[in-house]
Each structure stands twice: as C-alpha cells, then as structure tokens.
Chains A and B, each alone.
Chain A
C-alpha cells in the first residue's frame, strides 16, 4: 500500500484539526464543567405528577440570585407556566415527563435537553440579559406539539 506524501500530510493536518476540536471540547467538559446535561436519576413516569418534587412546584430562591424550579413537561405544556426572574439570576431546572419524550429548549441560550420518560433531566443557566425568552418543546410529542411553549421573563 502506497500513500502519497501529500495524502499523508493532509491526513495528519486533518486529524490534528479534529484533535484540537476534541481537546477544546474535553477541557470544557472535564475541567470547566461545561459538558452536556447528563443527569442520571430515575422516576416512574406515572408518579411524576404526584411526586413530592414535581407536585405544586414553584420557583424557589435557594441562594444569592440563584433559583431552582421543577417543571413537568407533558402533552402539551410545561407546568408550572410562565416564569419571571431578575437579571443575572441563575436558574436550576429539574424536568421530568409523565407521558412521552419531550425537549426543553430556551431560545438565545444553550439550554437544550431531552426529557425522556423514566429519567429526570437537569440543566442550569444564568440569565444575564433582560428580555422575554421563549421556552419550547423541541421534540415531537404528538399532534399538539407546536403549542407546547412558555416564556421566561428576565427583568
């Protein structure tokens, strides 16, 4: 097998570029904790609505401008409804689905996580800029999928 020297060079350069990409991703993931949301915890989907965590959940301040909220992603709404927070607030979202798979996406942010029945998803974000953000379900969940949306207002 003969490999032309330009081809060798190209394969080395190309692989190096990929290695650089991977290195950047690895540093962010393992040293800066910027990896993708990967919470591992289970909950029976049929018990989500009545569970201590999700029943009557509301936005709770847990620290200095730091909030948490448990949200049920169900056909075809996020419960509880629209949220309001001050600018600069960090919000920890905990999500679960009592029915089918949903997606949880907040526009203009990197918040984007799957909500798979049986599993609890967690994702956090700091909202520095004021404005009305759109929260939408980005995984097809049935015939009313396009109506599954909320807002989060940052003052």
Chain B
C-alpha cells in the first residue's frame, strides 16, 4: 500500500500517507457547517415567530 501511496503523489515528489491531500475532507466538513447553520437558524426563526 505504501508503494501505491508514493506512486500516486502528483504534488512535489515523494509523499507519505500522512501528507496526502485532505481537501475532500475539508469540503465535506464545510458542507456539515452549512447544515449546522441552516438547521439552527430555521428553528431559531420559528422561536422568534412564536415569541
């Protein structure tokens, strides 16, 4: 597995497992952040409306 890892590094030269890209992870957590904001504010607005 280690061989494939280093073979597939398209950035600068040899990279180990630890240094592979995490941009997909970052995009995914940002999607969670969007849901976090949307869900909270929708119930918050309901709270304001019923007050």
Contact = CB atoms under 8 A, between A and B. Distances in A.
Contact of B33 (A7, A17, A108): A17
A109 B26 contact: no
A23 interface: no
Contacts of B1: none
A25 to B, nearest CB: 9
A34 to B, nearest CB: 7
Interface majority SS (helix, strand, loop, mixed), chain B: helix
B42 to A, nearest CB: 13
Interface string B26-51: 10011001001100100010010011
Given A17-B33, A21-B40, A24-B44, A10 B26 contact: yes
Interface of B: 22-23, 25-26, 29-30, 33, 36-37, 40, 44, 47, 50-51
The 8 closest A-B pairs by CB, nearest first: A6-B26, A10-B29, A110-B50, A6-B22, A109-B50, A110-B51, A4-B22, A17-B36
